[in-house]
Chains A and B, each alone.
Chain A
């Protein structure tokens, strides 16, 4: 944490203290998408912003030491496939593509509403990873002065 890349000391220290809170709130929003406002889209953006917080405050080198960027690429591609897998499981078990084949549970419980919860998680991973990676690529893109 000694390199000069990134922002000033104040931003770095506040990021260090607050990044777990942002991540926890994003995951909370994803997991309660079927009970309260929010869901996979909103929670995914919050997760992406938590990672971006570290990227903007500490710079690229620190972030690439912390996260495995190649793995995030794989995760992003895999989540789109997982959505399809859940849809095809719906054909075999519920009779239609993306049918809600899991148990409905009781209203207002966390594990309820069948496939809505897994789909929310898949969408959260998808949205979060892709938005983080876009800014990652944009931040690494340096324009060299043409002549």
Chain B
């Protein structure tokens, strides 16, 4: 069976799972459905001959699951009934997105067929990567040697994001501070 058919099957499962994740009421079911989508992406990476990405995506999925469950489960979560205007807006959005999809079909027809890539610049890396850097894993040789600047920027972004998360969680909200001052005063 060619790779393309497998990918079509996985993608259909992923689309169904993502719609389910967005429409389900229970928050734990949504998080599990998102897990299905992520594992589908990981499996597709394996079919597309990218084992590095498959490993990272799989771990990302586990980690995101832990964060989401840890943060959102157990909060009392009220499901609001959608109002009339929301229903109208959702309908309009679906119509607009369908129109975008229909118009974009002709754009995708311009692309070369699946399996014959557009980009040919990377041929240099394939030919000389092992000789230039001495690494057998060519992806690793690109991220840490040819394009190490990208990784530097990526580390900076990660550092900033994590620092931002720390700072947000450390700030004490105003009302709580007042409350604690009040309670201290009464003591």
Are A and B close enough to touch in the complex, i.e. CB under 8 Å? yes
Interface residue? A49 (CB, 8 A) = yes
Q: In the complex, how many angstroms separate the beta carbon of B53 from the nearest chain A beta carbon? A: 9
Could you tell me if A108 and B136 are in contact, using CB atoms closer than 8 angstroms? yes
Q: Closest A-chain residue to B59, C-beta based? A: A45
Interface residue? A146 (CB, 8 A) = yes
A-B pairs with CB below 8 Å: how many? 124
Interface residue? A95 (CB, 8 A) = no
Interface residues of A (CB under 8 A from B): 29, 33-39, 41-42, 45-46, 48-49, 52, 56, 76, 80, 83-84, 87, 97-98, 100, 104-108, 112-116, 119-120, 123, 126-127, 130-131, 133-135, 137-139, 141, 143-144, 146
Q: List 20 A-B contacts (CB under 8 A).
A: A34-B137, A36-B136, A37-B51, A39-B143, A42-B52, A49-B59, A76-B162, A84-B152, A100-B145, A105-B134, A107-B130, A107-B136, A113-B135, A113-B145, A115-B144, A120-B140, A126-B159, A137-B166, A138-B70, A143-B75
- Apart from A42-B52, A143-B75, what 11 extra A-B contacts exist at CB < 8 Å? A34-B137, A34-B140, A37-B51, A38-B55, A45-B56, A83-B152, A114-B133, A119-B151, A127-B158, A135-B67, A139-B70
